[in-house]
Amino acid sequence: MSQPFTDQQLIAAATEFGSPLYVYHAEQIAARYNKLVDAFKAHPTKFFYACKALSNINILRYIKGLGASLDCVSINEVKLGIMAGFQKDQILFTPNGVDFAEIAEAVSLGVRVNIDSISMLEQFGNTYGGSYPVCIRINPHIVAGGNYKISTGHIDSKFGISIHQLRHIERIVKTTCLHVQGLHMHTGSEIKDIDVFLQGLDVMFGIAAHFKDLDLIDLGSGFKVPYKEDDQETDVYTLGARVAEAAMEFEKEYNRKLEIWFEPGKYLVSECGYFIVKANVVKQTTATVFVGVNSGFNHLIRPMFYDSYHRISNISNPDGPRRIYTVVGNICETDTFAWDRVLPEVRENDLLVFHNAGAYGFEMSSNFNSRLKPAEVLIENGIARLIRRADVFEDLLHNQVV
Ligand SMILES: *Cc1c(COP(=O)(O)O)cnc(C)c1O
């Protein structure tokens, strides 16, 4: 059921819906979610899907159906979550750098709120006192993550309230009678090393005794997923066992029980996404053979933005002789998806697939170069359904005042 799509299935989708096209595999999302649940079954654990990875409402509904909760970084994601049917206490709002009005709106919507600066914590306390429970995002200063741009726990990071400001947090909590329900951290993305989570948990348990109303510790996410053929993913089973051990020790020492939360984004939806493009032109230059496809970094920005690697297959000619290509998009500046990639011979009009394109793929797309955003299709139980139509020309003018 959760086997990857075959070339034939992907060709059928491109034939029906055209290309470029994002195709998502529902059962692969379910398999990832169920794996997490299984890995952490030794201790009460909840998973809040970080929907900034892929926020199509049909995906949100599907993930809700699996039993997950939702992590949101903007008030609009909160509203999408409510529309998708998540209960209010299943939605966690974890913004950074927003004004107090946005936090107040989240309170008026009744969702859980995570505060990420001393200034907002103070305003929150002064406004709501102990009448509305709150979580606090702590920066534990653990350096982690695959790339500086996606690493959020380091000393220069804008995220969270520094662990060194604990005394100031306590001062605000005491003065305003804040009900601190949870402590949160999120140290980055693509973290393979489970010690990062365990160290974070240690830091959190270390300060938990300062908060008498605490129910939970949220370890954020950043679970690594394999992009390259020989990549390893975060070992969630070992992590689950170690978290349960640490939690048991904490319970014994303090006679308190705390739920553990995670906020997986990429872990749930990276693998499920297949981005299908067409080779428009094969161009031999003096040094390189370029494949120019009918897409660009306006549709999949990760290679240009994060130097990320996406496996590519040529589904139109899988058995062709291997050749070396640089795969580029059509945006009018450097727009390279892959350098020196060995692929089965690419002919013009062949369909290529970028794998692991579900997370931060469509979600980060734009209309740069006045190009149209692609359609999205969800395949569930073998049935393909359009969940977002491709842009049409009029969409480019939609908000322009002519
Ligand atoms: C982005 C983000 C996540 C998800 O990170 P992934 O690497 O996609 O798992 C979780 N929590 C917060 C607060 C985030 O900003």
For 267-315, write each residue's pLDDT tens digit: 999 999 999 999 999 999 999 999 999 999 999 999 999 999 999 999 9
Residue 115: which residues within 8 A CB-CB, separation 6 or more? 103, 121, 124, 134, 135, 136, 137, 161
- The model's pLDDT over 358-392, given as tens digits with 9 standing for 90+, comes to 999 999 999 999 999 999 999 999 999 999 999 99
**Intervals of CATH 2.40.37.10 along the chain:** 273-396
Q: What pLDDT does residue 4 have? A: 96
Using a 6 Å cutoff on CB, does residue 71 contact ligand 1? yes
| Pair of tokens at residue 369 | 């170069």
H helices then E strands: how many in the chain? 12, 18
Topology adopted by domain 273-396: Lyase, Ornithine Decarboxylase; Chain A, domain 1 (2.40.37)
The number of residues making up the chain comes to 402
Fold (topology level) of 40-266 = TIM Barrel (3.20.20)
Give residue-wise pLDDT tens across range 74-104.
999 999 999 999 999 999 999 999 999 999 9
Q: pLDDT by residue (tens digit) across 146-194?
A: 555 556 666 778 899 999 999 999 999 999 999 999 999 998 888 889 9
With a cut of 80, say whether residue 324 has pLDDT above it.
yes
Q: What is the pLDDT of residue 147?
A: 56
Cβ atoms of 288 and 297 closer than 8 Å = no
Mutate to test the pocket of ligand 1, among 77, 219, 263 (most ligand atoms within 8 A of CB): 263
- Which tokens sit at 389? 């139509």
- Is the Cβ atom of 234 under 6 angstroms away from ligand 1? no
Is residue 157 helix, strand or coil?
coil
pLDDT above 80 for 25:
yes
pLDDT mean over 332-356: 98
Percent of the chain at pLDDT > 90 equals: 91
State the Cα–Cα distance between residues 316 and 314, nearest whole angstrom: 6
Q: Is 264 in the pocket of ligand 1 (CB under 6 A)?
A: yes
Residue range(s) in the chain whose domain bears CATH number 3.20.20.10 = 40-266
- Residue 341 pairs in a beta bridge with 325
In contact, 257 and 212? CB cutoff 8 Å: no
Is 220 a pocket residue for ligand 1 (Cβ < 6 Å)?
Answer: yes
Is there a catalytic annotation at residue 135? no
Closest Cα to atom 4 of ligand 1: 265
Only one residue has tokens 């049917």, namely 85
> Whole-prediction pTM value?
0.96
Residue 82 alpha carbon to ligand 1 centre in Å: 19
Map residue 21 onto helix, strand or coil: strand
Q: Is 19 in the pocket of ligand 1 (CB under 6 A)?
A: no
Q: For residue 1, is pLDDT > 80?
A: no
Looking from the CA of 376 toward its CB, the CA atoms found within 13 Å total 23
Looking at residue 391, the DSSP 8-state letter turns out to be P
The backbone torsions φ and ψ at residue 35, rounded to the nearest 5 degrees and listed phi first, read: -65, -45
Residue type, 304: M
Q: How far is the CA of 388 from the centre of ligand 1 (A)?
A: 24
Nearest-atom index, ligand 1, CA of 152: 15
